[in-house]
Structure 1
Amino acid sequence: MAPSDEVSGLRLAAAERLLASVGNPALERLAELASRLLDAAAAQVSLIGSEQVVGAAAGGAVGSTGERSPAHDSVCTVTARLGEPLIVTDASADDRLQDLGAVSDGRVRAYLGVPLVGKDGHVVGAMCVFDPQVRAWSTDDVLVLRDLAAAAVAELELSALAVEYEADRVRWQLAVTAAGIGSFDWDLVTGRLEFDDQLHALFGVSRADFGGTIAAFEACLHPDDRGRVAKAITRAIDGCTEYRADYRVVRPDGTTCWVRARGSALPGPDGTAVRMLGAAYDTTAEREADDRLSRVLESMASAFFLLDDDWRFTYVNAEAERVLGRPRGELLGGVLWDLFPFAVGSSFEEHYRGAVATGEPRTFEAYYPPPLDAWFEVRAWPGPDGLSVYFHDITARHDAEQQRAEASALAEKTRQRLELLSTVSADLSSTLDTEYAVGRLARHLVRDFGSWCLVTLRDEQRHLRDIAGWHADPALRPVVARYAQLRLGALAPGSFLHQALRTGEPVVVPGATDAISGVLSGEARDVLRSLAPRTGYVVPMRARGRTVGAVTLFLDDAHAEDLAPEDLSLLVQVADRAGLALDTAQHYQSQRKMAETLQRALLSAPAEPDDLSVVVRYVPAAEAAQVGGDWYDAFVQPAGSTVLVIGDVMGHDRHAAAAMSQVRTLLRGIAVTTGGPPRAVVGALDRALETLGVEAMATAVVMRLEQNAGERAAGTTRLRWTNAGHLAPLLVDPDGAVRELAAAEPELVLGVSSGTVRTDAEVVVPRGSTVLLYTDGLVERRGEHLQDGIDRLVGLVAELVPEARARVADDPDRVLDPVHLADALLARVGEDGAPDDDIALLVVHLATQHD
């Protein structure tokens, strides 16, 4: 049993369900048998739910049945959690058990337990034997206890099932009694017919006065109903099928009630019926209501007639005479199918026979040809007297509904057009990937408008490029793709495409194959003829006063009609929306490229002394607005120490990039001219920003790599750094271990206060170590705590180090390849797409030094 199972609702419910079996004598016997067969001092069956309940006990545990105790303090809970036999020779020496109460007080020393697995596969407890003395358990002991546990589970399930069945029976009996439903049981072999109390009360006959035979039942029926009921009984018995009947019962006091009976004839081994079971209830009130309705129908303006079991008219009201065009005398006694032959095989026959066969009312609409020549709404009710049919002429309503249907079809077409606009807008606005957006556009237009489509983009230099194509026939899509490769280079300047782009207005091309072939040359003309378009529509894509491309839609002979004016208007709307999306995408790409170019231009190549491998990387953000502000630097001070810098100016776009350039230049100048340690450089930078009025705030780590003669002889280097609110660098030791270089206390970011006191942290590391400095784009994710991202980065670097070490296995001066480490790290981070923020990364490997 897994830890999550212990608290699962399903397992707890399975255990709680079996609690009704606590104290079951059969369980007690099984516990006694376990104690005796295994020669154990005590035996116990435990159910483990939210607490432990002793279901049965024997031997030294006798008397504990029903006791409850905390589940966590039970040895049986350990067995249940394991989900397999727990075999313990000395519990006091077992780390899992020695602190449990039963072990501490000496009741349990030797223990053998097996889990109890319920019918749904959930562990519900354990069966165990135990001794206060140390003893060993054999394999046979385990097998015996397993068998006894299986028997215990079977007894628990059986007992629980019996309790559930009894509860269901009581609920069923209460429901039946409350509903006034009686039941009967007729043994067709002995002829004995039994009523329950409810049915005796309904018939008004006591058990003593009822003869208990089918004849006694028939004697209670109204004489007019006996033959019909007998037929229903015979039909059910002969076919071993359902029994259905509605009849009147004449009680001994002379009163009459209507009864509805439903049942079924049950077959014996030879397939013939041996028993009939069923139920019946009083429907007098319902029938009286029907009678009142029948009286009303005669005076109604609606048509009504009644058919018997042989489909003969037994009642026809005055309106039915008029609508059916025959007098009542001609209709009564006549067969429906003979008098109205057009009803045979029609919806009328289908529904009339269906109502009689199922006993369920039917409501339908149907047309009857001349001489009636009308649509009717028909309601047919089956009953003991036959089929009651109510109908009225709905021809006028049907005509009106047909007109509404036509209007609805027009509205649906309008809805589909709006849905197309919505879908296209959603596709085009959900991504800034131009190629993907227009590719989706071509598919939508082919699906809703034509046979095939091309989408053409015009860039800022007015160069044309077909960037998407689609055909309704998958087999012709490669042909469309080939035509897209050829056509622009083969089109004459006066082509329909150029005309649409020049005027900004749609161009309709009838006879498209011949017309377009006239402005094409070479292979493109042949490919077009194989596609055989009948009509073409060239619709410009416009946005912000300029044309950014065009949609060319073709219809071939698979489309019988050309586009309606409203369809062409919709196509223009779609093209305009696509144009706006394309223009937005182009603008985005332009802005992003500009920001990235500016950022990269401001980042110079790092210094790289002979004994260091310095690798720098910059990755722009996915959105142009997020590019700018991150920087790295590596340079040498006059005394020979290498300074590493990583920083991030708050904000984004080209303004942040410009501010970054100022901060970076000031820091580099201060560090080189003063030659000071990191704390002094950053402190001076704080003051310079304030003095020069540079309105920028930034985080940064400035680290200096120092080495005196003793450290060089020892093969070590001192890292000295100050951290102005930036992410802590990572250090990879020569053995591959990865850790953060965190300062004792975080310090303010740059640009907040010129009076900030800066401090240095330092650590001496062996040569062969690697330092990683990075910006937050490498670790930040939406909705995630920053520390989680840092922890993930540490794990990822540790994962990539072995591969980077393997790359330089033959190089005696380097422990790992920093280039591979940097590139592999960025590749893994970029697996989910471009980062939300730009990334600056500085990886420095301290190579082995030689005198």
Structure 2
Amino acid sequence: MHAAQRLLPAAADPGLQALASLAARLLHAESAEVSLVTEVRTIAAGGGAAVGRSGERTALSEALCPLAVLAQAPFVVADAAGDERVAHLGPVRRGEVGAYLAAPLVADSGEAVGALCVYQPTPRAWTPGEVQLLQELGDAAAAQLETAALVHDFATSTSSPDTASGLDGRDGASSAGRLSIQLGQVGRFALSLADVADLEELVAAVAEEGLPLLGCNGGSVAMPDPDDPRSSDPTADPDERFVIARLTSSYGFSAQGSYGRLPLSTPLPLYEAARTGRTVLVGNEAECRAYSPEMADVLEATGSIAFAAVPLRVGGEVRGVVTCGWDHPQPFDAAQLALLETFAAQCAQALGRVQALAAERAAAAVAAGMSEALQRSLLTALPEPDHLHLLARYVPAADQAQVGGDWYDAFMVRDGSTCLVVGDVTGHDREAAVAMAQVRNVLRGVAHAVTQPPAAILRSLDWALRDLAVGALSTAVVAKIEQDEQAAARGLRTLRWSSAGHPPPLLVHPEGRVELLERAPDLLLGLVVDTDRHDHTVILPPECTVLLYTDGLIERRGQDLQTGLARLRQTAQELAHLPLPEFCDGIVARLAAGSEDDVALLAVRLHPEDRPRPAEAGPQRLPVDLTQETPTTL
């Protein structure tokens, strides 16, 4: 409780308000709060509907956040009224809280002091990704509380008579004024760190831009060696755990080479701070030489004679050390220590953010790779029946994290028709790719079992998805290319299709005219069963091309769907004269490059049946031929 009391003066910090608002927005929650728990619950900041509640104090019996503090772990409530842990609490009984998610705020001491929470009046299932996101925001809120508390301590200390002795013999007013200027500079530097995108950029900014603001002639930023798994293993021998230090350019190449990578057991202030998690201060040359024999070489290599090694803490864990060096003695009084701690806390907050981003990118890359591999394994070789030439393309999203549930499929069914499918399962993650595989495979089975028009296939698929507990929503268009004896005599075919909330098929006529087959779409798959679904038909003459595609081909941020459809129509018209492979490649190059969503497209060109199958269409391939082949690589 003492740690929470220490942070209470930080409750009015505007940075906390920004974090609370960010939490409400990112998690699509009605309300968000940053709260501290002492003998009462104090709301430090509010977001969403809770804006304006900062400073509000309530009894612990009227709050859910103490449960997150006690658990010292994320506290997840999907249905508050039915959850015996919270159903008796006032906010739940009054209907204010129907779903609740909280992440504990962990102070630098390692003690849970409060919680960042989001909530809404209706029940809601929280995903693991949402829990992780709130935890990361909670770590940032805890760091912001520590920083704001240090700023408060600093302001108090510089106004205290205890600072009258000043620094380096200067009078108290002069010392306080200079420190106040430095604090302002550190604050502006901390704001600039919000734009830093990766670890290398952060370390360079702290070393080359941040340390000079403290009056340093040099210093370093150090972290465990990321290329050595033992370096992050707390059970490993310190002699086998290595630390990578980025020394400022002012120390020169020789010092950078000598001290760039050393064992954790090295008897220097930086490594003691990394081992113990405590700030290490060495105020003058005599203290340096007394610290360890190795410090004599440090003095000669760096030109510094005073050092402060301050741990960088993220969520109570030491992630690195910033070392400040001066070429003149330092008194390290309360005001200067508050400034150093403020600087380190801001650096640590930025470090936690970029490390979280790096971890998210790495996880997204792995998930996207698995999703894409799963998708490609399901994008099977296409049949080439009679005088039909089928071609497909799949393009992953430019952002790997957006790879999801787009697919295409084509197969022949026993009524003699060729079935074409393009679909898009909602979501952009590994779960979407897995759901896509389930929907695709169930649809294949239904289409073979139900030799009926596409609308009947989709109606049966709705029931199958429910009965098989495939919890996915999907758009799809299912089409059949049909030909009866009368149409065959005239060299014509029929496209019969049904759309479950999917973009319209595109038809390129033989003379190059392009038509979007816009009809009223039916409901998405997976919403309800036994819904009305409708078939639509169009006559297909020889030399025409049909294109099915997913919405990544036409959707763009800030543009309406009709703009995207018009762009597709114009592009298809310009490319209509090309052979089918070049036509598809041109569509992809012009419309799919850089798409924020993945793209699947399936094209079929109908060649005249009174002539031999053209060479550009390749050999005829029937299902029996495909069993001998492996899936094509796109």
Q: TM-score, normalised by structure 2?
A: 0.52
Query: Does structure 1 residue 462 correspond to structure 2 residue 223?
Result: no
**Counterpart in 1 of 2:479?**
703
Structure 2 counterpart of 1:448, one-letter code: L
Q: Distance in 2 between matches of 1:677 and 1:608?
A: 21
Q: Is the 8 A contact 1:613 1:818 kept in 2?
A: no
Q: Is the 8 A contact 1:629 1:657 kept in 2?
A: yes
User: CA shift at 1:600, angstroms?
Assistant: 2.8
Question: Superposition pairs for residues 741-756 of structure 1, below 5 Å?
Answer: 741-743=517-519, 745-756=520-531
User: CA shift at 1:620, angstroms?
Assistant: 4.3
What is the DSSP-based 3-state SS (H/G/I as helix, E as strand, rest coil) of the residue aligned with 2:533? coil
Q: Distance in 1 between matches of 2:243 and 2:602?
A: 43
Two-structure CA RMSD over aligned residues (Å): 4.9
Q: Is the 8 A contact 2:243 2:263 kept in 1?
A: no
What is the DSSP-based 3-state SS (H/G/I as helix, E as strand, rest coil) of the residue aligned with 1:816? helix
User: CA shift at 1:702, angstroms?
Assistant: 1.4
Q: Is the 8 A contact 2:505 2:516 kept in 1?
A: yes
CA shift in 2, pair 1:493/1:560, >3 Å: closer
Equivalent in 425, 448, 457 of residue 213 of structure 2: 448
**Counterpart in 2 of 1:617?**
394
CA deviations on 1:574-618 (whole Å, 9 max, x unpaired) are 332133213421442254245424533542122223454533324
Q: Distance in 2 between matches of 1:713 and 1:736?
A: 24
**Counterpart in 1 of 2:598?**
839
CA shift in 2, pair 1:826/1:784, >3 Å: closer
Query: Does structure 1 residue 427 correspond to structure 2 residue 204?
Result: no
User: CA shift at 1:724, angstroms?
Assistant: 0.9
**Counterpart in 2 of 1:645?**
421
Which sections of structure 2, spanning at least 5 residues, go unmatched? 1-170, 232-241, 283-287, 614-634
CA deviations on 1:516-536 (whole Å, 9 max, x unpaired) are 9979xxxxxxxx999877667
CA deviations on 1:15-41 (whole Å, 9 max, x unpaired) are xxxxxxxxxxxxxxxxxxxxxxxxxxx
- The 10-residue stretch of structure 1 (771-780 or 721-730) with the greater mean CA deviation from structure 2: 771-780
Question: Superposition pairs for residues 667-678 of structure 1, below 5 Å?
Answer: 667-678=443-454
Q: Is the 8 A contact 2:190 2:347 kept in 1?
A: no
Structure 2 counterpart of 1:589, one-letter code: R
Question: Superposition pairs for residues 200-599 of structure 1, below 5 Å?
Answer: 407-424=176-193, 426-427=194-195, 440-446=205-211, 448-449=213-214, 450=216, 451=218, 453-454=220-221, 456=223, 462=229, 491-492=262-263, 494-495=265-266, 501-506=274-279, 515=294, 539-548=310-319, 550=320, 552-553=322-323, 555=325, 564-593=336-365, 595-599=367-371
Structure exhibiting the larger radius of gyration computed from Cα positions = 1
CA shift in 2, pair 1:793/1:537, >3 Å: farther
Q: Is the 8 A contact 1:551 1:575 kept in 2?
A: no
CA shift in 2, pair 1:605/1:650, >3 Å: closer
User: CA shift at 1:737, angstroms?
Assistant: 5.1
CA deviations on 1:701-722 (whole Å, 9 max, x unpaired) are 1123445688789876643321
The number of equivalent residue pairs is 412
User: CA shift at 1:619, angstroms?
Assistant: 2.6
CA shift in 2, pair 1:661/1:518, >3 Å: farther
Equivalent in 354, 365, 379 of residue 605 of structure 1: 379
CA shift in 2, pair 1:670/1:437, >3 Å: farther
**Counterpart in 2 of 1:5?**
none
Q: Is the 8 A contact 1:650 1:697 kept in 2?
A: yes
Structure 1 counterpart of 2:181, one-letter code: E
**Counterpart in 1 of 2:534?**
759
Which sections of structure 1, spanning at least 5 residues, go unmatched? 1-401, 520-527, 809-813
CA shift in 2, pair 1:407/1:566, >3 Å: closer
Q: Percent identity?
A: 33
Higher RCO (C-alpha under 8 Å, 6+ residues apart): 2
User: CA shift at 1:670, angstroms?
Assistant: 0.7
Q: Distance in 2 between matches of 1:461 and 1:713?
A: 73
What is the DSSP-based 3-state SS (H/G/I as helix, E as strand, rest coil) of the residue aligned with 2:582? coil
Q: Distance in 2 between matches of 1:467 and 1:739?
A: 62
Question: Superposition pairs for residues 104-253 of structure 1, below 5 Å?
Answer: none
What is the DSSP-based 3-state SS (H/G/I as helix, E as strand, rest coil) of the residue aligned with 1:846? strand
CA shift in 2, pair 1:531/1:847, >3 Å: farther
Q: Distance in 2 between matches of 1:718 and 1:552?
A: 72
Q: Is the 8 A contact 2:221 2:247 kept in 1?
A: yes
User: CA shift at 1:696, angstroms?
Assistant: 3.6
User: CA shift at 1:621, angstroms?
Assistant: 7.4
Q: Is the 8 A contact 1:724 1:748 kept in 2?
A: yes
Structure 2 counterpart of 1:418, one-letter code: G
Equivalent in 465, 468, 480 of residue 689 of structure 1: 465
- The 10-residue stretch of structure 1 (760-769 or 665-674) with the greater mean CA deviation from structure 2: 760-769
What is the DSSP-based 3-state SS (H/G/I as helix, E as strand, rest coil) of the residue aligned with 1:746? coil
Structure 1 counterpart of 2:379, one-letter code: A
Q: Is the 8 A contact 2:244 2:262 kept in 1?
A: no
**Counterpart in 2 of 1:719?**
495
What is the DSSP-based 3-state SS (H/G/I as helix, E as strand, rest coil) of the residue aligned with 2:361? helix
Q: Distance in 2 between matches of 1:707 and 1:498?
A: 79
User: CA shift at 1:685, angstroms?
Assistant: 0.7
